[in-house]
Amino acid sequence: MAEIPTLEPAVNVPLADEAPKARKRLWLAIAAAVLLLAGAGVGGWLWLAHPKGKPGTAKAEPLPTGPALYIALDPPFVTNFEADQAVRFLQLTVQIMTHDPATVDLVKTSDPAIRNDLLLLFSNQKYADLATRDGKERLRAAALAAVRKIVAADGGKPDRVEAIYFTSFVMQ
């Protein structure tokens, strides 16, 4: 006799009503992930854009007020430099201005290092540059940067050195 084919029950085949539920769960998971990422992005942007709430953010200290304090760097600087194949001399009297008494003490303590760096700066100038007002102002700005660098290296606050003034400027 001929065998009659029989069908075996199907294994792991979703029923017709289970397929839409699986798709629905997948879309819900994707939507939740997108919302989570969007929320994290907005939160990160707000945290970075408004640093007030950051822990460890120090507020800037206000600069000391009161009368200006001047520190004279005595004796005057005297250096030579070349100009048009001739040796020329430059004599400068320099004063440093601040409003902070602690910076005054630090500048006085660092006087040898400040004088050394300024002397090297002054002797490296050209006569033609120093003959103009702009050249003198550039030299003054470079001298201020040199003094601030030394103050910072000695543990002070460089922004407390507010200005440098040439109270005597003689070129021969």
**Which range has highest mean pLDDT (19-28, 33-42, 137-146)?**
137-146
Whether residue 91 sits in one domain with residue 34: no
Cα separation, 90 vs 122, whole angstroms: 8
Predicted confidence at residue 56, as pLDDT, reads 54
pLDDT tens, residue by residue, 39-76: 888 887 777 776 654 555 555 666 667 899 999 999 99
Residue 30 lies in a domain: yes
Q: Which of 16, 103, 115 is nearest to 61 (CA)?
A: 103
Buried b (16+ CB within 10 A) or exposed e, 147-170: bbebbeeeebbbebbbebeeeeee
Q: Which residue has the higher pLDDT, 103 or 23?
A: 103
Question: Domain tally for the chain?
Answer: 2
Does some domain include residue 59? no
Pick 111 or 17 by higher pLDDT.
111
- Quote the domain boundaries for residue 30: 21-48
Give CA–CA dist 124/129, Å, rounded. Answer: 11
DSSP 154: T
Examine the domain organization and report whether 159 and 114 are in the same domain. Answer: yes
Asked if residue 3 is part of any domain, the answer here is no
CATH number at residue 121: 3.30.479
Both 32 and 109 in one domain: the answer is: no
pLDDT of 124-152, one tens digit each?
Answer: 888 888 889 999 999 999 999 999 999 99
> Phi, psi (5° rounding) for residue 127?
-60, -45
140 and 108 belong to one structural domain = yes
Question: Angle, to 10 degrees, between the axis of helix 111-123 and the axis of helix 133-153?
Answer: 150
Instruction: For residue 63, tell me if it sits in a domain.
Output: no
Nearest partner of 158 among 169, 166, 149, judged by Cα: 149
Q: Are 160 and 94 in a shared domain?
A: yes
- Nearest-Å Rg of the Cα atoms of the chain is 37
Mark whether 37 and 82 lie in a shared domain: no
Do the domain assignments include residue 34? Answer: yes
Mean pLDDT for the chain? 84
Confidence at 14, pLDDT banded by 50, 70, 90: low
Together in a domain, 35 and 102: no
Considering the domain boundaries, does residue 57 fall inside one?
no
Q: Which of 79, 74, 81, 80 is nearest to 96 (CA)?
A: 74
In this structure, what token pair is assigned to residue 48?
Answer: 């970075």
- Quickly list DSSP for 156-171: S-GGG--EEEEEEEEE
Confidence of residue 13 (pLDDT cuts 50, 70, 90): low
| pTM of the model as a whole | 0.63
